[in-house]
Structure formats: structure tokens, C-alpha cells
Amino acid sequence: MRACAAFFVLLNALLGTGSANAEMKLLHQERSLYRNIFVTQDGDERCMTFRYPRSLGRQSCKLLHDPERIIFQYTRMQLGALFLNPNPKRVLIIGEGGGTIPAALQEMYPQAQIDVVELDAAVDSVARAFFDFKPGPKMRVHISDGRIFVKRMAEQRPNYDLVFLDAFEADYIPEHMLTREFLQEVKATMSPGGVIAANTFSHSALYDHESVTYRDVFGPYFNLKHANRVILGRNGGVRPGDLPLAWKNATQMQAGFAARGISSLSVAARLDPRIDWNPDTRILTDQYSPSNLLNALPRREQ
């Protein structure tokens, strides 16, 4: 009997059906123009998700007792963009979620002009109501499709020093924000040497297609992987001196990252310039962005 009981305890732990899930509370739910939005709380952890009760696919989470702590590994890796440009003046963030990256950058760089683009006004409302997201005077939240916003801004040449791409639906990135044309429009908004950090999957049917598409537009870039993949590149391509520069800046930024529960040196250690994809794979374009491949994607880390 003891062996049987131990087996079921282990099975519950492996399946994630233990007491933690039983204690999860649904704080809020609504149907927006685009999706269902749920806010859950499991002990001290509050999360936004587009699917419930499925635990994977969370869009944003925070710890109530330590709200500045950044939980998701992909978010930590995206902030590695600061190692390539530690003094940004203008920042573009596509995909608001609970406002984790905008809030962190607003505190770290109070003089930086930050544009946050979110398709769904309901996501912005939930971020403010349940995740204490408070845009300051230097931050503007634009309720817009990310591609439409980028196309409009490209004509104005805003010279963004940092661009963060984190626009996810329930399953993956919208198709029209995967293509070469979209990335070319993003590139047109960036300053010379500006840095892009894009959240993607580390394993998917689109991996090779995404890889060659980003390289076609931005040249050589770094991969950072921990369940998700973050593509970290430059306008003009990663340069030979960027890796030692990143380590130098990561060392200098240890205290600021540690305040958010991040080891800056651990993030820097994930910078990988190697090509681990088939370079002959077809580039994603507005004419070729096959939705059938999206059906083969695994769920995202969160």
C-alpha cells in the first residue's frame, strides 16, 4: 500500500496535479474582441493567460511579495539586449502582456522614451488592474496591431535603440509578424546599430524558417535558449566585438539584474552566435508564411 501511495504522489507531481493546482484561483475572466483573458492566482503567483485551466501558455506572471522579480526565463534573456546597448534613448516593445518588460525598463531608464504596442485594449486594462502596470510620462501605450504601428513609424524614422518583439496569440506569433517584409519594416525604425530581441520557440516546425528570415534581414545574431529562444541581433548584424562587449556590460549590470532575480552573467553565458539551422530553408514572406506549420508547434515555456 505504501508503494502504491508513493507511486500516486510521484504521478501527481509529474503531471502537475498536486495541491498547487488545486489552490489556483480564477480572479478575473473576460472575452475581448480577440480572445479570452484569464487572471489566476496560485499562492503568491498571479498570472495572465489566454487559456484556462491549462497551466502552460501563460502570458505574464508576477510574485505579489516581490513584484520586481522577473519570473520567465525568456524575459530574462530578452533583457540581455541591454548588454549590447546599455544606454537606450528610445525603446519599442510589441506585446504588452502584464507589462513586465516595460515596467522594468521604465525603472531602469527613467529618461528613455518607451513605446508599448498592444493589439488588445483588454490586455492593457488587465495589466493595469491586476499587475500594477503604471506607465509614466515617458511611456506611451498604443492600442494597435504591431505591424500597422511599425509600418507607420518606419516612415517617421524614430531610431529605436532597442526593439522587443513579444507578440503572442494563444499558440504562437501572428503570421504577419513572422515575415521578411515585417522585419524589414522593423529594421527601418531602428537606429544604426540598434538592437532587436525577439521571443520565439527553441524547437518548432518553423525554427529553420524563422532563423533564415532573421538572418536575411539582420545578418548574424545571437541565439539564447532556455525552453524558449530569444533572437538577439543588431541593425547591421552582430559584430566580432559584440560578445566581449556583452560580457563587459553584463558584469557591470550585475546589481541591477540581481534586484530582479536575474543573474546577468548567466544570461550572457547563453549568447551563442553559431548557426544551428539549415541555411537553405525557405525564407518566410508575406506570400509564404504557411499556417499549417503553426499547427505543429509545441506550447511555449510559460
The DSSP code sequence of 103-159 is: HHHHHH-TTSEEEEEES-HHHHHHHHHHS-----TTEEEEES-HHHHHHHHHTT---
Tell me which fold the domain 73-294 belongs to.
Rossmann fold (3.40.50)
pTM for the full predicted model:
0.89
Give the catalytic positions in this structure. 166
Q: Where are the domains of the chain?
A: 73-294
Q: Of 16, 12, 36, which is closest to residue 26 (Cα–Cα)?
A: 36
Rounded to whole angstroms, what are the CA distances from 268 to 138, 245, 300? 28, 10, 22
Q: What is the pLDDT of residues 25-65, one digit of tens each?
A: 999 999 999 999 999 999 999 999 998 886 566 889 999 99
Rg from Cα positions in the chain:
19
The pLDDT value recorded for residue 6 is 41
Tens-of-pLDDT digits for all 302 residues of the chain?
444 444 333 333 333 333 345 588 999 999 999 999 999 999 999 999 998 886 566 889 999 999 999 999 999 999 999 999 999 999 999 999 999 999 999 999 999 999 999 999 999 999 999 999 999 999 999 999 999 999 999 989 999 999 999 998 767 889 999 999 999 999 999 999 999 999 999 988 899 999 999 999 999 999 999 989 999 999 999 999 999 999 999 999 999 999 999 999 999 999 999 999 999 999 999 999 876 665 555 544 44
